[in-house]
């Protein structure tokens, strides 16, 4: 595969900035344009200060068809609007980071059909896809934690989930719960039992275990840190701990970014990487599953580049061997 020519719509937000950071250093990617109506004419580094010295590109309010792939880093509901208001050649592959096309019930837009882009679930379909709906951040973290059980037909009791996300999960726009003075040294619950990512999680579980009808009791929390998601889950199972580890290791053995740890895990092990880490414990008849990712990378932009690599026949890890901060 030669150079992949890329356009990015909505490049001014957190996911757009992370996508730029990855693609600027991707050996087979060339960023042709970055669309932003509000920042047209500005240098990318005027908005994303960490890119100063890395690129001379400027934002534009026009688009070109001379690209191979289009990343949509726009807000939820805006991906459809962008496609409605811009003519995009059918030959251009699209990777959408919004929630607009994730569910089977809305996975079509005109003549385009979107494949749900979780490689740990749909890697072979992603390789053949023209359009990808990138999964949500919570959905990615939680699914990675429980898909092996569903694949084995062993998800037969309610799943209890408590997951905490960093402040970047709320996006760049200010709100009462994203100001530093509110978020710092604070913790809160939101959208208990009704978070929008539950729909895509349930869809994936039914894809693997078509009789799955158990409750997903999901309590999301806002953390007082910048990036990362830690999901703590438990469900009843007759598996021993050794059997559970064997099940998980076999399920993920061919997936280069997901790793199973017999030692406890923490966010600093993988922040700034495209990894997902899983740790298991057995307490009586309950299996405890801890799953962690960086919400902006494996939860969004890194995941999107992983999908791009698969779609264009590249090695899955190309451009994504990123070093975690560690401390």
What's the first-to-final CA gap in the chain, in angstroms?
37
**Residues with active-site annotation:** 137
In angstroms, the Cα distances linking 289 to 17, 231, 260 are 31, 8, 11
Q: Could you give the angle at which helices 119-128 and 197-208 cross, rounded to 10 degrees?
A: 80
Locate the DSSP E strands across the chain: 4-9, 29-35, 59-60, 69-72, 93-96, 108-109, 112-113, 115-116, 131-133, 159-165, 188-189, 216-222, 229-236, 258-261, 276-283, 286-293
Give the position of tokens 């199972």: 237
Q: Helix H segments across 152-294?
A: 180-183, 197-208, 241-252
What is the spatial distance between Cα 285 and Cα 274, in angstroms, rounded to a whole number? Answer: 32
Question: Do residues 228 and 165 make contact, with C-beta atoms less than 8 angstroms apart?
Answer: yes
Of 55, 70, 15, 13, nearest in space to 37 by CA? 13
What is the DSSP code (8-state) at residue 252?
H
- The torsion angle over the Cα atoms of residues 301, 121, 93 and 34, rounded to 10 degrees, is -10
């Amino acid at each position: 595969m030669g150079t992949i020519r890329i356009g990015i719509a909505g490049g001014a937000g957190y996911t757009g900035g992370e996508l730029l950071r990855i693609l600027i250093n991707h050996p087979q990617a060339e960023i042709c344009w970055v669309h932003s109506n509000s920042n047209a004419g500005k240098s990318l580094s005027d908005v994303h200060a960490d890119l100063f010295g890395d690129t001379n590109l400027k934002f534009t309010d026009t688009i070109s068809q001379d690209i191979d792939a289009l990343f949509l880093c726009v807000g939820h509901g805006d991906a459809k609007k962008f496609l409605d208001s811009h003519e995009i050649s059918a030959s251009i592959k699209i990777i959408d980071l919004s929630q607009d096309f994730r569910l089977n019930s809305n996975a079509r837009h005109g003549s385009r059909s979107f494949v749900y882009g979780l490689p740990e679930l749909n890697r072979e379909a992603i390789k053949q896809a023209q359009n990808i709906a990138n999964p949500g951040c919570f959905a990615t973290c939680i699914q990675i934690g429980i898909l092996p059980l569903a694949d084995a037909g062993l998800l037969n009791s309610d799943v209890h989930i408590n997951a905490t996300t960093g402040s970047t999960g709320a996006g760049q726009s200010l709100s009462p719960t994203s100001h530093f003075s509110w978020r710092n040294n604070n913790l809160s619950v939101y959208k208990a039992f009704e978070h929008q990512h539950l729909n895509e999680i349930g869809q994936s579980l039914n894809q693997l275990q078509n009789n799955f009808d158990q409750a997903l009791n999901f309590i999301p929390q806002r953390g007082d840190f910048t990036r990362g998601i830690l999901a703590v889950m438990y469900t009843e199972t007759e598996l021993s701990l050794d059997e559970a580890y064997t099940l998980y290791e076999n399920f993920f053995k061919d997936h280069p970014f997901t790793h199973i740890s017999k030692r406890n895990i923490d966010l600093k092990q993988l922040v700034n990487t495209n990894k997902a880490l899983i740790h298991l414990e057995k307490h009586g008849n309950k299996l405890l599953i801890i799953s962690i990712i960086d919400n902006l990378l494996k939860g969004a932009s890194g995941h999107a580049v992983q999908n791009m690599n698969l779609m264009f026949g590249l090695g899955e890890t190309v451009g994504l061997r990123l070093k975690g901060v560690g401390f």
